[in-house]
Chains A and B, each alone.
Chain A
Amino acid sequence: MGDFEKELRSSRLRLREEVDTEKFIENLENRIIQKNNRQRSFIATSILVLFFGLISIPNLNKEDDLDVFYTEEEGNYFDVNFWTIQNDSMVMDSSYFEEVAYFLVEEGNIWETIDFFNKISLEKEES
């Protein structure tokens, strides 16, 4: 054995303190229980994930049979040219004018009725 090897061996540390064996075993037993519990919960979780995974496999290729809540008529929306639109969205037809005229007459506003008709005729001329 060389001197250097002797030197190395001489640097060896020896534990002189007493080790509390029973406390060590108690701690060890606790760690074993914790480890087993962790292992059990991991297995249970894995089984659950596997179970739900398996029961969801048949649904993967199934077509959606959801109710359709949208209109399939697209023409009206795409045909409107919003840049050249002249009127408000409210369509004013003849029945509307008649109803307004009757209302004004019933209310006794003769001049306003005349004024209303003048406006209509003016609008017609402009368009």
Chain B
Amino acid sequence: MEDDHELIKRFQDGDNQAFNELVRRHLSNTIGFFFNITSSKMDAEDLAQDVFLKLNKYLKKFKFDSKFSTYLYRVNTNTANTWFKRNKWKNLLHLDQTDERGERDNTLEKSWTRKELWNAISKLPKKQREVVLLRIGEELPYKNISRITGISIGTAKVNFHYALKKLKKELNSG
């Protein structure tokens, strides 16, 4: 089985099937990443389309200096940031009608809903939000988060610490 870099090389040589293979390989993870944020399968698929559309353009200039999965996470977090920005206005105008479909991993008693959680996450500064997305959403180790976001491991830890503090304050006050 070819690895991601080999597929990208083939795509750079003009083989579009190699790109489709790359999509097949990473689609469910990408949609899962966005489903966790949006709680909507349709929105998640739309965002995943945006991601792969961007990749179709940018992979032609991919320099193979990082793993494809790292690169993909970077594109995912950037796309999520854009979505958060867009959604801020949607929330202000009360246009957000996403329901709480999907299942929870376990059933801890909480004083807040998922919607409140993601509203609070959307209010975090960009770097803190990115770290939370990858740490909570994807359960990635700090080492990987550091690679994806381009900050040091220490900075990632500090960002996560402050993000949790803010989220706790925001969720408990609401």
Are A11 and B27 closer than 8 Å at their CB atoms?
Answer: no
Residues A13 and B49 in contact in the complex (CB < 8 Å), given A4-B168, A8-B117: no
Contact B23 A13 (CB under 8 A): no
List B residues 114-166 near A (Cβ within 8 Å).
114, 117, 132, 136-137, 139, 164
Q: Which of A2, A7, A29 has the most CB of B within 10 A?
A: A7
Q: Which residues of A have CB within 8 Å of B110?
A: 7, 11
Task: Report which of A5, A14, A17, A27 forms a contact with B164, defined as CB distance below 8 A.
Answer: A5
Please judge, given known A-B contacts A5-B164, A14-B102, whether A24 and B41 are in contact too, CB under 8 Å.
no
Interchain CB contact under 8 A, B164 and A2: yes
Residue B11 interfacial (CB < 8 Å) = no
Cβ–Cβ < 8 Å partners of B24 in chain A: 21, 25
A interface SS class: helix
Which of chain B's residues have a CB closer than 8 A to the CB of A90?
none
**Are A13 and B108 touching (Cβ within 8 A)?**
no
Tell whether B13 is near chain A: CB-to-CB under 8 Å: no
B31 interface residue per 8 A CB criterion: yes
Contacting A at CB under 8 A, from B63-81, are none
User: Could you say which residues of chain A place their CB within 8 Å of the CB of B168?
Assistant: 4
Q: How far is the CB of B61 from chain A (nearest CB, A)?
A: 16
- Interface presence of A12 (CB below 8 A): yes
**A residues in contact (CB < 8 Å) with B:** 2, 4-17, 19, 21, 24-25, 27-29, 31-32, 35
Instruction: Give the 5 A-B residue pairs with the shortest CB-CB distance, closest first.
Output: A13-B102, A15-B35, A8-B136, A13-B36, A10-B108
Which A residues lie within 8 Å of B139 (CB)?
Answer: 9
List the A residue with the shortest CB-CB distance to B172.
Answer: A4
**Contact between B136 and A15, CB atoms less than 8 A apart:** no
Docked Cα-Cα span, A14 to B49, in Å, equals: 19
Q: B136 to nearest A CB, angstroms?
A: 5
Q: Tell me if A13 and B27 are in contact (CB < 8 A).
A: no
Which residues on the A side are within 8 Å of B59 (C-beta)?
none
6 other contacts beyond A7-B110, A15-B28, with CB at 8 A cut-off? Answer: A4-B164, A12-B104, A12-B105, A14-B105, A19-B28, A24-B45
Distance in angstroms between the alpha carbons of A14 and B39 in the assembled complex: 9
